[in-house]
Amino acid sequence: MAKISLENWSEKIRDPEIECMSREEMKALQSEKLVKQVKNVYENVAFYRKKMDEAGVKPEDIRSIDDIGKLPFTTKEDLRENYPFGLLAVPQSKIARVQGTSGTTGKLTLASYTEKDVDVWGECVARALTMAGLTEEDKLHVCYGYGLFTGGMGLDLGARALGCMSIPMSSGNTQRQLMCMEDFGATAFACTPSYAMYLAEAAKEAGVVERLQLKAGINGAEPWTDEMRHQIEDTLNVNCFDIYGLCEITGPGVACDCIHHKGLHVYEDHFFPEVLNPVDHTPCAEGETGELVFTTLSKEGMPLIRYRTKDLTSIEYGKCECGRTLPRIQKFTGRTDDMKVIRGVNVFPTQVEAALLSIGEGVAPHYMMVVDRENNLDVLTVMVEVDEKYFSDEIRKLEALKKKIELALKQALGVAVKVKLCEPKSIQRSEGKAKRVIDNRNL
Ligand code: DLL
């Protein structure tokens, strides 16, 4: 199947009443839900009762969504301290399933869901799949991992709610993935963008792209750029969509972008978003970058109040060209904790990726950042894979390419970068979230 152009796209909206609701109606709905949720956590979660008492806030002080700023924050550390079941608002017997972080950093974070929470989760992913143009006629090949990580289960629940076929491949074994995609006639696939890139390369190499029936990619769980999206779309001849989520809030399906790619629509009837200044926690203006904070308005099992995601983004409330009024968060510039400060300059892996992709010919979008400290000076080395054709070329050409990359990175990051050119396919591929930075500084 072919990639659909914007002009030929026919937008489908799963729940127009909610997704296209006026701001006043949405605020009324959120207010009603927040008042109930605050009362619920105060009465049923000792942690919140204590936190609210310490902050001098009573449930009666929360009369509308505009009062949210009076409530205390919840952090990942709070979750760890109350691990595994200390934040439940229901007895453990009411918990239908638990999910955890994918665990690329730190200790496991566990989230608990009741049967209703699982239904809401599936419904949100179904909204996202509809946004990506899927219907009950589709076949979704899921190569996110199944298990505690929410990727596999989340997409599966979405397929079930939508009524389409789910192909629960889980991650790994790329040749087998391609074989099944072709044999079963998958029309959409879901995996991390870095694995999508890898799959796309492998499909091209194996000469199977023409035989696949894919039309859409549902990709998320890690930051990626529009440039990377274009590469995947062009290689596989599909439309790709960015899906966001975190296990604490609901896994994938907290937000997803539409065909206009002007930000990810947040399902704010369930997850109330705030974007706050990461230092003083005051609200950012519309369009200003800050830390994304969520309050779960519908959650029963483990409701979270003002949960600090550490993800950095900005938010916009204007109606989208797709017709939805749901606010849009911009692609993440990183996390408050994956940001690297190199010689006083804040550097995000996504900036490196965008700069590399802007170079085009000769450079593959596979890279690794290594940060060292030499003579008390930070040194950033970016290892970049070079295309096969270039690598066999003469040294002079490689030297010129290296200089070109160094210049592009210096301009993009505002800090000098050493570039090491690597052989094609020498940088480790990931089947889950790509690890892009090795920091040897022990800061
Ligand atoms: O990564 C849930 C997920 C699965 C989302 C599949 C999309 C698809 P966690 O393992 O809890 O959950 O990790 C959550 O991953 O706070 C972000 O930093 C990052 N993240 C998730 N989606 C995106 C995205 C899943 N689309 C953490 N863009 C979040 C950028 C993302 N970062």
Q: Which of 309, 336, 363 is the last residue of a domain?
A: 336
Domain hosting 392: range is 340-439
Q: Is 155 in the pocket of ligand 1 (CB under 6 A)?
A: no
Measured distance CA(433)–CA(192) in Å, rounded: 6
pLDDT of residue 235: 96
104 pLDDT exceeds 60? no
pLDDT of residue 236: 97
Q: Are residues 320 and 347 in the same domain?
A: no
> What CATH number did the domain enclosing 386 receive?
3.30.300.30
Q: Which range among 30-39, 175-184, 208-217, 365-374 shows the weakest confidence by mean pLDDT?
A: 365-374
> What CATH number did the domain enclosing 42 receive?
3.40.50.12780
Q: Are residues 276 and 410 in the same domain?
A: no
Q: How many CB atoms lie within 10 A of CB 22?
A: 10
Q: Are residues 249 and 318 in the same domain?
A: yes
pTM of the entire structure? Answer: 0.85
Contact 157, 150 (CB under 8 A): no
pLDDT of residue 150: 94
Span 324-364, pLDDT tens digits:
999 999 998 877 776 677 876 768 788 898 899 888 888 87
96 pLDDT exceeds 90? yes
Grouping H, G, I as helix, E, B as strand and the rest as coil, residue 28 is helix
Q: Are residues 301 and 410 in the same domain?
A: no
369 pLDDT exceeds 90? yes
Q: Which range among 39-53, 331-345, 373-387, 410-424 shows the weakest confidence by mean pLDDT?
A: 331-345
Which residue, by CA, sits nearest to atom 1 of ligand 1? 221
Hey, which of 124, 140, 143, 244 would you mutate to test ligand 1's pocket, going by the most ligand atoms within 8 Å of its Cβ?
A: 244
110 pLDDT exceeds 60? yes
Measured distance CA(129)–CA(159) in Å, rounded: 8
- The model's confidence at residue 200, banded by pLDDT at 50, 70 and 90, is very high
Q: Are residues 288 and 169 in the same domain?
A: yes
Q: Are residues 267 and 284 in the same domain?
A: yes
Q: Are residues 323 and 361 in the same domain?
A: no
Residue percentage of the chain with pLDDT more than 70? 96
- The model's confidence at residue 138, banded by pLDDT at 50, 70 and 90, is very high
Q: Is 151 in the pocket of ligand 1 (CB under 6 A)?
A: yes
pLDDT of residue 105: 42
Query: Please, what is the average pLDDT of the chain?
Result: 92
Span 408-431, pLDDT tens digits:
999 988 889 999 999 888 888 877
Q: Is 223 in the pocket of ligand 1 (CB under 6 A)?
A: yes
> Which atom of ligand 1 is least distant from the CA of 310?
16
Residue percentage of the chain with pLDDT more than 90? 73
Q: Are residues 185 and 270 in the same domain?
A: yes
Span 284-323, pLDDT tens digits:
999 999 999 999 999 999 999 999 999 999 999 999 999 9
Span 151-199, pLDDT tens digits:
999 999 999 999 999 999 998 899 999 999 999 999 999 998 888 988 9
Q: Is 221 in the pocket of ligand 1 (CB under 6 A)?
A: yes
What is the bridge-based pairing of β-strands 216-220 and 188-191? parallel
AA letter at 306: R
Hey, which of 129, 170, 246 would you mutate to test ligand 1's pocket, going by the most ligand atoms within 8 Å of its Cβ?
A: 246
Among candidate residues 121, 50, 60, the one with its CA nearest the CA of residue 82: 50
Give the Å distance between the CA of 256 and the centre of ligand 1.
Answer: 11
Q: Are residues 262 and 399 in the same domain?
A: no
DSSP conformation letters of 217-242: EEEESS---HHHHHHHHHHHT-EEEE
Q: Which of 336, 351, 383 is the last residue of a domain?
A: 336
pLDDT of residue 239: 98
Q: Which of 304, 336, 368 is the last residue of a domain?
A: 336
Q: Is 70 in the pocket of ligand 1 (CB under 6 A)?
A: no
pLDDT of residue 279: 85
Q: Are residues 109 and 236 in the same domain?
A: yes
Number of domains making up the chain: 2
Q: Are residues 120 and 159 in the same domain?
A: yes
Residue 369's beta-bridge partner residues? 382, 437
Which residue, by CA, sits nearest to atom 18 of ligand 1? 311
Q: Is 266 in the pocket of ligand 1 (CB under 6 A)?
A: no
Q: Is 222 in the pocket of ligand 1 (CB under 6 A)?
A: yes
Among candidate residues 79, 129, 82, the one with its CA nearest the CA of residue 246: 79
Span 401-410, pLDDT tens digits:
999 999 999 9
Among candidate residues 285, 242, 283, the one with its CA nearest the CA of residue 265: 242
Residue 264's beta-bridge partner residues? 257, 329
> Which atom of ligand 1 is least distant from the CA of 149?
10
DSSP conformation letters of 22-69: -HHHHHHHHHHHHHHHHHHHHHH-HHHHHHHHHHT--GGG--SGGGGG
Q: Is 303 in the pocket of ligand 1 (CB under 6 A)?
A: no
Q: Are residues 356 and 215 in the same domain?
A: no
Contact 3, 233 (CB under 8 A): yes
